[in-house]
Structure 1
C-alpha cells in the first residue's frame, strides 16, 4: 500500500514542527556544523601529523550506516587521481601492515566485526584513524593505539554522512591525497551545507524549497536516482538509503549508463512520461499496484547532465535534473565535492519531509 501523502503539511511550518517532535529536520540542518565539528575533532586527534606520510594504501572500512556512503563518495571524488590505492572494504585485508593507513568509522559502538578489524590493523602496525562513540568495544579496540576522532554532534540514525565525509576528507587532505589540498577547517564545505540548510528550512514554501519540491515530485512514485558521474552515483546510493530510512520508500540507484541497460526500467521511464490516461476509470481499471517511476538525474560535474546522459546512453531521458550549478557555480574550486555534499543533504531533507508528510516518521 502506498502511504498517503499530506501535501498540506509541507506548506504549514507550524504543523511540520508539531509532526517533527523528534527534531529530525533540525538534525538535517546540522550538516554544516557536523563538518566543522569533525574537522576540529580531526585536528585535535593530530591528523596533521600524517603530513608527509605517503602510505602504500588508504584502506577505508565500509560499515553499516554513513561510513559506507562516505567511503563510496570519497572514493568517487578521489577517483583515478589518487596517488595511492584507495581500498574500500568491509573488513581489514590480510595484507595490511605498517605502510598502510586505515580509516574506520561507525555510529555503532558494539560493531564486533569492526572492533576485530581495528584490533587487527593496530596489531599489524598500521596507522589507524578511528571515529566512533567513545564507549564500547570499537573504541576499546583502538584505545591508545589509534587516532581517535570523537563524534561530537549527536544526530538520529542515517543523518551523520556530513561528519563521516568530513573525517574522510581530513584524512585524505592530511595525507596530501587531495589535489591542491583542502581548507583545514573544511569551511567551504560547511558553508555550502549551511546555505543548503537555509534553502530547505521548513518556513520556505515548496516552490522555494528544493527539498520539499523534490519530496513532492517523488511522492507516490518509485524514485529512480541515477547519477551521471561517479560522485553523483555515490550520492544516489545514499539517497536511496535515506528514502528507505526516513520515508519507507524503495528507490533504485545506479550510474545512468548501467541503469540504461535495464530494458524494464527504460520502458517504465517511457511509460511514465506518457502520463496517466485521463479517461481511465480507476474503479473499472484500477491499474498496476506498483506506483509509477520518477526519474531523478543527479550530477556534480561541470557539463550539462542532459548532454552527458545522451553521450553516455545514446538517448535523452525525461527526468528531474538536480545539478546544483546555481548554488555552486562552474569553475568553483572543489565544485564536485561541494555539489555532491549539497545533493546528499537535499536528499536527506527530502526523505525527512516525505517521511513526515506520509506519517512514516512518527511524532516523538
Structure 2
C-alpha cells in the first residue's frame, strides 16, 4: 500500500475511497456494528427516561460495586472508574467477583455480555440475598437471567451488537448509575441524566457519520487514522488516566479487528523511552523483509531494518499543544483529538472556543464536576467510535 501526500491510499483488497468496495468487503457487518455506539447510548437514555433507575434517585449507598466480566465490559468499567475518580461522592469499586463485605447498604452493578457466566450469575444471586440494590447490565438469559428474575433492576442491552463493539453500551449504563447516585442540585435528576445521554448519543452518531464509508479520505477521521497505522509499529499513549483506558481499548481493537499488534504506555513512561525510540535503527524501511539470523552476520551485514514507530496520543483540545511539546523528540506523533467539527486539532487560538463547544453538550447539571465528567466522557467515547471504525477499515485494507 502506498501513501501519497499522506491521504490517497489503496490496498491489495479495497480502495479507501471506494464505498461500494468497502461495504462489499465487510462481510461480517463490522462497519454497521461500529456505528451503533450512539444507538447503544440512546437505549440507555430511554431506560433512564422511562424510570427504570428511579429507585436510585434518593439512595445514598455506602459503595457502588461493579462486577464485570472480562473483555469490553471490564474495559468500560475501568474507563468509568478512571473518569469519575476524585469526582464522585460514593466509593466506586471495580472487581471481577463479588466482595464478601457487600451488604444491604451497597449498590451492585453486574455487567457483561455472557448470560451463561456463572460468576456473574452468582454475584447477582448473592448480592440480592444480602439485600443490596442490584442492577444487571447483562443479557437476561440463562443463569444470569434466572438469578436476576424478580430480584434485580434490568439494564440489559436493548440493542444487541457483537461484544467487541459493546464498550459504549456498558460505559453509558455505568455513567447513568453513577450520575443518579452522585449528589445533584438538579430539580429533576432523571431528566438531567437522560438529557446528557441523549446528547451523548447524538454526538456519537455525528462521529459515526464522519466515519461513514461514503465520506472520502480527506474528510473522514476514521479512514485517516487507519491509513496512519499502515506500515508502522504503533504505540498508543494518553495524557490522562481515562484517555489511557481509551488507548487500551484502541490497541485491543487493533489486534482483534485488524490483526495489528500495538503497545500501550502512559505518557510519562513514553517520555522515558524516547532515547531508545530515537536511537533505534530504521534504515528507511517501511516493510522490512524478514532476516534469517542463521545467515546474518552483525559484523559484516548492516543492522536488520526495523519498521518505524508511530505514536498515537489521546489528548484534549486544551492539552494538545502541551502533549505535542512533550513528545516533540519522538518525531512521528499523531494526536487523537475530538472537536466539534470532527477535523482533529483546531488551529492556534481556537482551543478555548473548541473546549467551550465540547462542554456545551452537557445539559443542566450540578455544577463544574458533573460538567467536567460529562464533557470528557463525550470526547473520549467519540474517540471510541473513531477508533472502532478505523480498526474495521484497517481490517478491510488487507494490510493486517
TM-score range, shorter chain: 0.7 to 0.9
Match of 1:100 among 96, 101, 106: 106
Matches within 5 A, 1:175-214: 175-176=181-182, 182-185=192-195, 186-214=197-225
CA distance 1:138–1:292, change in 2 (3 Å)? farther
- Per the alignment, residue 30 of structure 2 pairs with 24
CA distance in 2: counterparts of 1:118 and 1:255, whole angstroms? 35
Give the SS at the match of 1:225: strand
CA distance in 1: counterparts of 2:94 and 2:124, whole angstroms? 15
- Per the alignment, residue 123 of structure 2 pairs with 117
User: Deviation string for 1:159-208 (max 9, x for gaps)?
Assistant: 01121111111111221258976531411100110110110000111221
Match of 1:287 among 304, 316, 323: 304
Matches within 5 A, 1:138-153: 138-153=144-159
Contact 1:268/1:293 (<8 A) preserved: no
After TM superposition, give the deviation of residue 238 of structure 1 in Å.
0.9
User: Deviation string for 1:112-149 (max 9, x for gaps)?
Assistant: 22112222211211111101112111222222111111
- Per the alignment, residue 315 of structure 2 pairs with 299
Matches within 5 A, 1:1-364: 5-6=11-12, 8-44=14-50, 46-176=52-182, 182-185=192-195, 186-261=197-272, 263=273, 266-267=274-275, 269-270=277-278, 276-277=283-284, 287-288=304-305, 291-300=307-316, 303-308=318-323, 310=325, 316-318=329-331, 319-327=333-341, 329-331=354-356, 332=359, 333=362, 334-358=374-398
CA distance in 2: counterparts of 1:85 and 1:281, whole angstroms? 50
Give the SS at the match of 1:339: helix
Give the SS at the match of 2:222: helix
CA distance in 1: counterparts of 2:113 and 2:135, whole angstroms? 15
After TM superposition, give the deviation of residue 257 of structure 1 in Å.
1.5
> CA RMSD, aligned part only?
2.8
CA distance 1:351–1:306, change in 2 (3 Å)? same
User: Deviation string for 1:324-343 (max 9, x for gaps)?
Assistant: 13448302143211110111
Give the SS at the match of 1:129: strand
Greater gyration radius: 2
User: Deviation string for 1:6-51 (max 9, x for gaps)?
Assistant: 3743221111111112211011111111111122234557212211
Contact 2:138/2:144 (<8 A) preserved: yes
CA distance in 2: counterparts of 1:359 and 1:189, whole angstroms? 33
Instruction: Return 63-72 or 10-19, whichever deviates more.
Output: 63-72
Contact 1:115/1:137 (<8 A) preserved: yes
CA distance in 2: counterparts of 1:66 and 1:140, whole angstroms? 23
CA distance in 2: counterparts of 1:86 and 1:113, whole angstroms? 20
CA distance in 2: counterparts of 1:351 and 1:298, whole angstroms? 16
Contact 1:172/1:178 (<8 A) preserved: no
Contact 1:82/1:178 (<8 A) preserved: no
Q: TM-score, normalised by structure 1?
A: 0.87
CA distance 1:179–1:359, change in 2 (3 Å)? farther
CA distance 1:63–1:45, change in 2 (3 Å)? farther
CA distance 1:286–1:260, change in 2 (3 Å)? closer
User: Deviation string for 1:238-258 (max 9, x for gaps)?
Assistant: 111111211122211232123
CA distance in 2: counterparts of 1:135 and 1:344, whole angstroms? 28
Aligned residue-pair number: 348
Give the SS at the match of 1:81: coil
Q: Provide structure 1 residue ranges, at least 5 long, that are not aligned to the other structure.
A: none
CA distance in 1: counterparts of 2:245 and 2:75, whole angstroms? 7
